[in-house]
Amino acid sequence: MFDQKDFLLLSEYSPEEIAALLDLAAELKEMKRNGEPHALLAGKTLGMIFEKASTRTRVSFEVGMYDLGGHALLLSPRDMQLGRGEPIEDTARVLSRYLDGIMIRTFEQEKVEQLARWSSIPVINGLTDFAHPCQVMADLLTIREHKGRLAGLTLCYVGDGFNVANSLIAGCVKTGMKVRMACPSGYEPDPDLMAWAAEEGDFLCTPDVMAAAAGADVLYTDVWASMGQEDEAAAREKAFAGYQINQAVVAAAAPGAMVLHDLPAHKGEEITFEVFEAHAREIFDQAENRLHAQKAILVKLMGN
């Protein structure tokens, strides 16, 4: 059962739909590893709109479409009329006549929602200030590969309650994971999402890093200042001092705890160099899994 048109927020997906995406991602990963052709999107074109910089999202979507026998087209707002004020509803209707799907990375969640409302083709959220659902699908795939399951595990996120944190709450609660957020006061995740998580799952948000990390199976962090917050860097350095995954935090977690980071990392700030390198295999598996998780999303939304 999979009748979603778009991929905008994990909170809109059922646990069964998320599980189906993860199963397909694992299957597609195996096929790629074995060199088995899987041209499930032959002749299809994905438009990619990037209003923020990207390495992983850009490359993994482009390679993903190539692997699936399709084509990806980079649409820079600098070169599009969208960047000169053409309304999103007109852009959506025009692109729907040429393309089979759109991936967009932008600032406002509302812009992605509006693009999806006016498009007759699937729209995929490649990151907004509110959510990063593609990242979290790769995160869940990585945890499942390393730990053999998701339900019942505890994930502790240390740092800024921004887009990645919001999507982690949705993805982890939907898959039966316990969530512990360690965020400084004023930098907590979305309040509505936290209220939902407290009702639906096992959820805690605290300013105390060690309390959040105690017994966790997965530790996760992100940069202190995300794209678009560069002019807040000095204030954030002060607010986030101590919100770091270091040896003491790893020691507080469960034995054999994984450490994840969505990248790029600022080593020495949100994570120490030593912890990053000790867990580099998990972190780069996580980066690789962007490719496999997104291929599953593309096939589910754009496949026949």
Would you tell me which residues interact with ligand CP (CB under 6 A)? 54-57, 127, 135, 262-263
Q: Which is nearer to ligand CP, 55 or 76 (CB)?
A: 55
Q: Which is nearer to ligand CP, 63 or 263 (CB)?
A: 263
Place of tokens 């048109």: 5
Q: How far is the CB of 284 from ligand CP (least distance, A)?
A: 12
Q: How many CB atoms lie within 10 A of CB 98?
A: 10
State yes or no: cis peptide before 207, omega within 30 of 0. Answer: no
- The SS3 of residue 202 is coil
Q: How far is the CB of 108 from ligand CP (least distance, A)?
A: 17
Q: Which is nearer to ligand CP, 214 or 263 (CB)?
A: 263
- Return the structure tokens found at 116: 């999806």
C-alpha–C-alpha distance, residues 8 and 134, integer Å: 9
Q: How far is the CB of 211 from ligand CP (least distance, A)?
A: 27
**55 HSE (CA, 13 A, CB side):** 6
What are 206's strand-pairing partners?
182
Q: How far is the CB of 202 from ligand CP (least distance, A)?
A: 26
C-alpha–C-alpha distance, residues 101 and 112, integer Å: 13
Q: Which is nearer to ligand CP, 40 or 297 (CB)?
A: 297
Q: Which is nearer to ligand CP, 57 or 106 (CB)?
A: 57
Q: Which is nearer to ligand CP, 178 or 295 (CB)?
A: 295
Q: How far is the CB of 185 from ligand CP (least distance, A)?
A: 26
β-bridge pairing 45-50 and 154-158: unpaired
List % helix, strand, coil for the chain (3-state, nearest 5): 50, 15, 35
Q: How far is the CB of 52 from ligand CP (least distance, A)?
A: 7
Among candidates 258, 254, 248, which has minimal Cα distance to 282? 258
Q: Which is nearer to ligand CP, 99 or 223 (CB)?
A: 223
Q: How far is the CB of 263 from ligand CP (least distance, A)?
A: 5
Give the max Cα distance, the chain: 55
Q: How many CB atoms lie within 10 A of CB 210?
A: 13
